[in-house]
Amino acid sequence: MDILEIKSRLAGPMAEVEALMESVLSSDIDLLDATNRTLLQQGGKQLRPVLALLAAGACGGINDDSVRFAAAAELIHNSTLLHDDVVDGATVRRGRPTVMSILNGPAAVLMGDYWLVKAIRCVLDASRYSERVIRLFGKTLSDLAEGELLQMQRASKADTTREDYFRIIYSKTASLFEAAVVSGAVSTGAPEEWVDALGAYARHLGLAFQIKDDIFDYTGGGALGKPVGIDLREQKVTLPLLCALESVSSEEQAAIRTLVSQISDMPELAVRVRDFVLDRDGVASAASEMEKCIDDAVLSLEVLPHSEEKSYLAKLARFVGERTY
């Protein structure tokens, strides 16, 4: 079972999420409204709202607030993508031109801000738990900024450590997974034991998701997936490279890190670093750590009562490890 099959089982609530997003993003400014509609039509996997809805279902049932929180998670996710495209100078996302490339950087930043404000509106319109969920998403936004800036700082010298790496991927990816899932559970008034278990599930899942993305930088991610070498060209030291470095002497580690630090001036060095990672089984080692994260995610669900949604959460964790895009 993949995410499309799970989304089909959630067709009703997902339609409500999409309708709510379309409603809150509507504007009488033609440029803004047309761009929003295009972005909605180009929606990606919608993994975060799916997770929020499944968490709510696993804790007793999806309600109107579950839908609002799920929509907020997706709005925040897309807001961060609009901002990321400006930071990264990205001209293509999901196989299509970015807002930044069609309009300009300032327009993309403003669009991202607009989506973020609408996410906050979705949460504030909830009948219960809006303050708790605002705090959840507020923490996530703080994490995102800190993770991005730490990654920039480390990339400048290519000196990222394992500790840095896992802090970065928690902050940039797993934190929003956690907020989405926990908000879904909170929307139902679930016992704190269940909320904590689902939070642990989401953290492990988010780490696995980002490790998989970082593996794609060395293997490719399908026709519409991540092209090979993007992270390396930006001098990002991710888990496949860290695993490969751990297999060689400190002198060779320093030499490889020096190559990475020079990639911005000599992009051809990225090929040498990629070959080093592949030769030293860095991808396989990273994949093994990803699978451990997935196992931990599934194990975290044990405290929850049996339900179809609980089963889907476990299957979704397996999908994260098997996905090809």
In whole angstroms, give the CA distance from residue 278 to residue 284: 9
Where are the domains positioned within the chain? 3-322
Is the pLDDT at 115 greater than 90? The verdict is yes
- pLDDT at res. 225: 55
**Whole-number Å distance between alpha carbons of 204 and 243:** 19
The per-residue pLDDT for 223 is 47
Give residue for tokens 């993003």.
25
* pLDDT tens, residue by residue, 17-38: 999 999 999 999 999 999 999 9
- pLDDT tens, position by position, 225-281: 567 888 899 999 999 999 999 999 999 999 999 999 999 899 999 999 999 999 999
Q: Check if the beta carbon of residue 213 is closer than 8 Å to that of residue 241.
A: no
Predicted confidence at residue 91, as pLDDT, reads 84
Nearest to 51 by CA among 318, 313, 324: 313
CATH superfamily assigned to domain 3-322: Farnesyl Diphosphate Synthase (1.10.600.10)
Neighbour count for residue 123 (Cβ, 10 Å): 26
Q: What is the percent of the chain where pLDDT is above 70?
A: 98
**pLDDT tens digit string along 120-141?**
999 999 999 999 999 999 999 9
The 8 Å CB, 24+ separation contacts for 141-148 are 141/76, 141/116, 143/170, 143/171, 143/172, 143/175, 144/80, 144/171, 144/172, 144/175, 144/176, 146/171, 147/171, 147/172, 147/175, 148/84, 148/87, 148/172
CA distance 185 to 303: 14
Q: What is the pLDDT of residue 11?
A: 94
The residue-averaged pLDDT of 156-169 equals 96
Q: In whole angstroms, what is the distance from residue 149 CA to residue 288 CA?
A: 28
Q: Report yes or no: 173 and 143 within 8 Å, Cβ to Cβ.
A: no
DSSP letter for each residue of 257-275:
HHHHHTTTT-TTHHHHHHH
pLDDT value for 323? 87
Report the mean per-residue pLDDT for the chain: 94
* pLDDT beyond 50 at 89: yes
**H or E stretch covering 93:** strand 92-93
Per-residue HEC secondary structure of 107-151 comes to HHHHHHHHHHHHHHHHHHCCCCCHHHHHHHHHHHHHHHHHHHHHH
Check if the beta carbon of residue 168 is closer than 8 Å to that of residue 147. Answer: yes
Per-residue pLDDT tens digits for 300-319: 999 999 999 999 999 999 99
